[in-house]
Structure 1
Amino acid sequence: MNDDETFVGIGRPPANRRQVGIKLLWIGIWLAFMSAPVKDLIDGTHAPWATALGALALAAFVGTYSVLVFRQTSKAPARYRVGVTVALLGALAVVLSLTLGTPWLVLFVYVCVTVGATLPLRTAGWLIPVFTAVLVAIGLTADHPREIVPALVVPALLGGFAMSGVRQMIRTTVELREARATVAQLAANEERLRLARDLHDLLGHSLSLITLKSELAGRMLPDHPDQAALQVADIEQVSRQALVDVRSAVSGYRRPTLPGELAGARTALAAAGVAADVPADAPDDLPEKAEEVLAWALREAVTNVVRHSGARRCTVTLTPRQTLGGRLLELTVADDGRGGSGVKPGNGLTGITERLATVGGTLTTRPTDPGSGKGFTLTLGVPLGSDLGSRE
């Protein structure tokens, strides 16, 4: 049996009988201070009827106190019930102290502890001194007030305010546990979103290239089997690379590079029969996060050109710029195809926008030829500042 099954965590209700027993034991230990009223009943200094009534009242006080404190740290009852119960305990303490004598003044200590354990901090802050003042007022009428009052005032105040601190600690612990669960859920949702976005980018690009090469191999097969065999070999290579990328994406270790995506863009555009003007190299001093965002954006943009544009030509440019806000690198992908639908961005552009948001980048789209409305140009800018990593 492990410790979690034996001990009750702070702010957690007991989950089994053993934990219930341990919790009752901890509550019962503090009932040892009830020895004074119990001894007063046993000594026989009161009439039999007064002793019987005192025993019943003491049993009711102890039972109510125990149940209230136990439930407050497990499943708190309604606030009005707590208020009524605290008022009942206070009334019993006053009546028993006035009728049966000074040994019963210790009940006010338990009343103050109950107030601190069950009522809000602001309410307990003034109610604990009130009950302590009642304790002092009744104690001053006793035979030896100099001995009784100091012996009970400090425990009443200290016990009451200490329990207020414990209650606040339990409440904070519960809130932190709930916040941690919420953060874990949000992190899981974010990870699922990242995985879905990455898989869309990976498979969309790879499957488009496989489809194009398969169609090309099919057209070459009757008359040019050697060339068709080369296309099939390329299909196998792309498929294997896609499998590697998907496994890496699931593991969270895959990071695309801009030079690799530039080479991939030339291959994909050439396979689709699109004349490509793509830079051969990328800047060497790119921050890791900026390069990753640009690589993903380039892959998605080229995939859209191949799959949807019907373009004959595509131009990719990388342009460093100095702005008032600092250095940035602009990536532009322009084609002469049909242009965008103008309805709403698809999953690809949405993914690009989400990635850019992590580095404070910008995205703009426009027709390549504004006069005819044809073509589609995507331009995104990524800052190259030293604080780029803090945006994640």
Structure 2
Amino acid sequence: MDLSTGQPRPVSRHWRVTGWLLAAVWLFFLNVPLATALHQPAPWRRLVGVAALVAFSVGYVLLFQWARKLRQSLLPIPVGRARAGLLLLFAVGLASMPGTGGDWLATLVYVAAAAVFLLPLGESLAVVVLCAVTPVLTSELVAGWEAEHGIVFAVLLASFAMFGVSQLAQRNSELRAAQQEIGRLAVAEERARAARDLHDILGHSLTVVAIKAELAGRLLDVDRERAAAEIAEVEALARTALADVRQTVGAYREVSLAAELAGARSALAAAGIAADVSTEVPELPQQWDQLFGWAVREGVTNVVRHSGARCCVIRVRPDRVEVSDDGRGPSTPDPSGHGLVGLRERARRLDAAVTVGKRPEGDGFLLRVHAPEDAR
């Protein structure tokens, strides 16, 4: 499947040629009725016999390829059209009788095989039985025709073989459908992951940019130097956010706990929220350092955006990180928002737990990410 379009990849030329050969190679067994037609003394019988057999061969191959193409495209075979095609195929085979005599019964092998490939199981079984008993019945009804037990055996053998082919084709179709669904889900998951990453990156950065820009606007008439400094930080944050987006698109976005703690101090200060941040960062494995960094980023973003807090506390330990505030509490930020969903998914990859709720001390919001027991 082509993930860029969500459509099945075209079948290669090699497999198209193989499909035609698979249908045509079995026509070799029409050599007996063809030889009979060619040895007819009457020219019109030769012409009718050869023309009918050629038309029968072409019709059989086209019918087989039509059904095969539908199966490859994961489309159902229209039963009505399949029945009409089989009736027409049988009629053309029957029309060869003036030139082939009793050898026209060889065409029933192909009618039975096509029925197995085209029709539902019950109908195909009925067609196979009719094709198998026809040679026996005609030997009793038509003078001079001998019982064609070889045709009966060929009908049964070809039908059994085609049943195996049809089951294989069905399983291949189901496998292709499953592969397409997996591919579609992979594309959807990748899009959702990219959306969460962009939310986590830009949500934090743009929140801080908005706060600093608002602060600079208030300071413009009061303290131009500080306002200029805030504007310079806004420019730096915007450039950093742009670089982060480029890194995310390039699939090598990395977050570090130390950098996020430093960014948290700056963001909280710009929002006028007192920051109580751990000064020492423990040595952590890279995956835990990144996870704790994402937790700090998401927690501080929610504090700045939603809490109305006066103080934010960030504590980092070897087995956990906590971001808490004294604001309006856990009902303000949406626990099902993109940021928390992305954080939970990152934590799940490491079997870590994310806790969101009210602080034990009273009012306020607490976000905690902690490692499982066996990782401590």
How far the C-alpha of 1:265 sits from its partner, in A, is: 1.6
Task: Name the CA distance, whole Å, in 1 between partners of 2:267 and 2:369.
Answer: 21
Taking the aligned partners of 2:169 and 2:136, their CA distance within structure 1 comes to: 31
Counterpart code for 2:244: D
Rounded Cα–Cα distance in structure 2 between residues aligned with 1:355 and 1:125: 55
| Aligned-partner SS, 1:318 | strand
- How far apart, CA to CA, are the structure 1 residues paired with 2:149 and 2:283? 80
Q: 1:142 to 1:158 in 2, by over 3 A?
A: farther
Change in CA separation of 1:211 and 1:78 when aligned onto 2, cut-off 3 Å: closer
Tell me, in whole angstroms, the C-alpha distance in 1 between the residues paired with 2:364 and 2:227: 32
Distance 1:32 1:306 in 2: 80
Aligned residue in 1 for 2:246: 247
Deviation sequence 1:242-275 (CA, Å, 0-9, x none):
1211111111110212222122222222333322
1:15 is aligned to none
1:68 to 63, 66, 78: 63
| Number of the residue aligned with 1:378 | 367
- Kindly provide the amino acid, as one letter, of the partner of residue 318 in structure 1: V
- Corresponding position of 2:5: none
- Equivalence map 1:202-351=2 (5 Å): 202-222=201-221, 224-286=223-285, 288=287, 290-319=288-317, 329-341=319-331, 344-345=334-335, 346-351=337-342
- The percent identity for this pair of structures is 37
Structure 1 unaligned spans of 5+: 11-18, 321-328, 387-392
Indicate the residue corresponding to 2:117 in structure 1: 117
- Tell me, what secondary structure is at the counterpart of 2:69? coil
- Other-structure match for 2:6: none
Matches of 1:6 and 1:277 in 2, distance apart? 64
1:173 aligns with 172
Residue 233 of structure 1 deviates from its aligned partner by 3.4
* 1:31-54 alpha-carbon deviations (Å, 9 max, x no partner): 343232233234337998x88986
- Any idea what the Cα deviations from partners look like across 1:270-290, whole Å, max 9, x if unmatched? 3333222222344434361x4
Of residues 24, 29, 32, the one that matches 1:33 is: 29
2:103 corresponds in structure 1 to 103
What is the root-mean-square deviation of aligned Cα atoms in Å? 4.4
One-letter amino acid matched to 1:74: K
TM-score (norm 2): 0.73
Sort the Cα spacing of 1:356 and 1:80 in 2 relative to 1 into closer, same or farther, 3 A.
same
**Contact 2:37-2:100 at 8 Å conserved across structures:** no
Q: Is the 8 A contact 2:299 2:323 kept in 1?
A: yes
Cα separation, 1, equivalents of 2:121 and 2:371? 51
Aligned length: 358
CA distance in 1 between counterparts of 2:236 and 2:294 reads 20
Letter in structure 2 aligned against 1:196: A
2 CA distance for matches of 1:361 and 1:7?
50
Question: Judging changes above 3 Å, is the alpha-carbon distance between structure 1 residues 51 and 378 closer, same or farther for their aligned structure 2 residues?
Answer: same
Q: Contact conserved, 1:36 with 1:104, CA < 8 A, in 2?
A: no
Structure 1 residues 276 and 55: alpha-carbon distance in aligned structure 2, compared to 1, 3 A threshold: same
TM-score, scaled relative to structure 1: 0.71
Please give the alpha-carbon distance, in whole angstroms, between the structure 2 residues aligned to 1:383 and 1:134: 74
Q: Flag the 1:384–1:138 CA change in 2: closer, same or farther, 3 A.
A: farther
CA distance in 2, matches of 1:52, 1:227: 102
Q: Deviations over 1:182-224 (max 9, x none)?
A: 3232222222212221122212211222233334444555554
Q: Which stretch shifts more, 80-89 or 347-356?
A: 80-89
- Partners of 2:306 and 2:332 within 8 A in 1: no
* In 2, Cα distance between equivalents of 1:55 and 1:40: 9
